[in-house]
Amino acid sequence: MEIKLMGVRGSLPTPLVNDEYRERLKSILDLAAREGLRPDRVEDFIGKLPRELSTVYGGNTTCVTVTSSSGNIYIIDCGTGIRPLGDQLLKGPCGRGEGMANIFITHTHWDHIQGLPFFKPLYIKGNTLNFYSPYPDMENRLIHQQGDFRFFPAPFEKTASTKHFHLMDPETPLVMEKDLIVSCFPLKHPGGSIAYRFKQGGKTFIFATDVELTGEMLEKPGNDTDFFLGADLLIIDSQYTLDESFMKFDWGHTSYTVAVNCAIRWDVETLVLTHHEPSYSDAALRNIHSEALEHREAMSMSRPEVIMATEGTVFKL
C-alpha cells in the first residue's frame, strides 16, 4: 500500500500568511548571504535547505489516499485536499469519463466534506463515485451541503457522475480486493466519527481523525481494542496540546501527548500526528513535533516513529 496525505489541517483551510512567508524568506536569504550564493548554485542551495525552510505543513483540510498493490486508489474524506487530487485524477481515466473513485467518509463536519463540490471528477459523465460509510443518510447529507442555490450553484444530485452509496457495518469488514480488507470503528466525537483500517500484504494502515482520547480512557480496563493493535502506520488526530485538551473537553479532539501514549500502548510502528489546529503556525507545529518526541523519550520508548503530517508526504507499506 501507498498512503499519501492531501490535506492535514483541522476545522478550516489555513493558507500560509504573508508575515510567516516573509519571515521564512528572510531566513533563506540570510542563509544564502552567509554562504555567498552564486547564481549557478541556486538550485543546489534550495535542495539543501533544512526542512523547516524548504517545506510547509500545508493548509488544506483532511483528505488521504490509499493506493493498493494493484494500483487502485481509495480516498478517505473530502476536505479541501480533494480538490488538487481531483485535478491529478483528471490526467487519467477520470478525465475521459471512465474513472472510478472509492471514497470513505469519517464524518460530515464541513472540514471533511467541503472539498467535494470542487472535486472535478464529480462533474464528468461516465465517472463512478462509490461512497462508503456507516451513515445510512450519507447521500442526503451530501445533497444538503450543495442543496441551496444561495450558497452553491451546482446541486450534488444533478452532477453528471454516477454515484453509489455503500453502508458499512463495523462488525463486518469489506473485501475491496482479493487481499485488501477495510474495517471501520466508531470514535468519540460530537456527532460521531469513524476510523478506517486498511490491511493488505500483512501490513496495516489506520486513519483515526476527529477523536477524543484521554489518559483516563487509557487507564480503564477494556478500552484497548484489536482494531488499533499493531498498526504499521497510524494517522491520528492530535489537534491540541495537553493543556488545551483540558480546556476543550468534549470538543472531540486529542492532544499529541495522549496520541503518543495511545501509539505506545497499541504497539504502533509509525505514528503520524494530523488534523493540525488552524491557528498554529508552522513554527508552532514544529515545536509540537519536538515535544511529542521528547514525550516518547520520557516514556523510555524508541518507538513509534513520530511524524508530523505534511501535505504531499507518501508512506509505503
> What does the pLDDT read at residue 262?
93
The set of cell numbers assigned to 17 is 500568511
pTM here is: 0.92
Among 49-63, 149-163, 177-191, 248-262, where is mean pLDDT lowest? 248-262
Cell triple for 227: 482494531
Query: How big is the CA angle at 235 (ends 198 and 145), to the nearest 5 degrees?
Result: 85
- Per-residue pLDDT for 220 more than 80? no
Per the DSSP assignment, residues forming a β-bridge with 314 are 4
Q: Is the pLDDT of residue 146 over 90?
A: yes
Render 124-182 in DSSP notation, one character per residue.
Answer: STT-EEEEEES-TTHHHHHHHHT--TTT-SS-GGGSSSEEEEEE-BTTB-EEEETTEEE
> Is residue 202 over pLDDT 80?
yes
The domain locations on the chain are 2-13+57-316
**Who wins on pLDDT, 249 or 201?**
201
pLDDT tens for residues 244-284?
766 667 677 789 999 999 999 999 999 999 999 999 999 99
Measure the CA–CA gap between 197 and 185, rounded to whole angstroms. 8
Average pLDDT, the chain: 92
Out of 3.60.15.10, 3.40.50.620, 2.60.120.10, 3.30.365.10, which CATH number does the structure's domain 2-13+57-316 have? 3.60.15.10
Evaluate if residue 111 carries a pLDDT over 80: yes
* Angstrom distance (rounded) from CA 240 to CA 227: 24
